[in-house]
Amino acid sequence: MSEEMRVSVSREIPASAAAIFSMVTLPAGHVAMDGSGSLISPPSNHQLAAVGDTFLMDMDRAPIGDIPEMGLYQVENEVTAFEQDQLLEWTVGMTGRPRVGHVYGIRLTPLDTSLTLVENYMDWSGVPEKWRDRVQWPVIPASTMEASLARLEAAILSA
């Protein structure tokens, strides 16, 4: 992954890696932790369990304001890396259209039985050069990703 095309934030969350992984492998967990306000609902809410699993998400680009003409749309995500209680990575594509080339991921590093370092990252290095100007990298700044981790922590602690 190209460092200049990657945004990564980390946070220690007082919970086991297994508890956090259970939440992030459920599409509803992605809505709960979204700090951008662009995720509306998870039409598919099955627990993700392997590379190749797909999940749909309803989106609204208006709260981000980065690509105003997109408005409401649906994305189809596909799991590209899966390690139980350690890593979930997925690529994004618009429903009915090919994947764009960027990936999102959540890596978990247990610090002890009840404390986990959670890294939330996105990498746009796979996006074709001709599309990079349109997406105005970085689409989701680190501050939004930090808010996502804070919301994930709140959801885990209230569960």
What pLDDT, in 10s, does the model give residues 58-100? Answer: 888 777 666 667 778 888 889 999 999 999 999 987 666 666 6
Q: Which two tokens stand for residue 13?
A: 């969350």
First to last CA, the chain: 34
Q: Is residue 48 scored above 80 in pLDDT?
A: yes
- Rounded Cα gap, residues 119 and 121, in angstroms: 6
- Rounded Cα gap, residues 98 and 73, in angstroms: 15
Closest by CA to 103, choosing from 84, 134, 81, 135, is: 81
As a whole number, mean pLDDT of residues 7-13 equals 95
Q: Is residue 46 scored above 50 in pLDDT?
A: yes
Which pLDDT score is estimated for 96? 63
pLDDT category of residue 1 using cuts at 50, 70 and 90: very low
- In the chain, domain spans: 3-158
As a whole number, mean pLDDT of residues 122-127 equals 82
- How much of the chain, in percent, has pLDDT values that exceed 90? 43
Q: Identify which has the larger pLDDT, 133 or 14.
A: 14
CATH number, domain 3-158, options 3.90.470.20, 3.30.530.20, 3.40.50.970, 3.90.1150.10 = 3.30.530.20
| CA distances to 13, 35, 88, 142 from 147, in Å | 13, 5, 19, 9
DSSP H helices, 16-141, are 17-24, 27-33, 129-135
Which pLDDT score is estimated for 57? 85
Compute the CA torsion angle 132, 146, 59, 48 (nearest 10 deg).
Answer: 100
pTM of the model: 0.84
Q: Is residue 143 scored above 60 in pLDDT?
A: yes
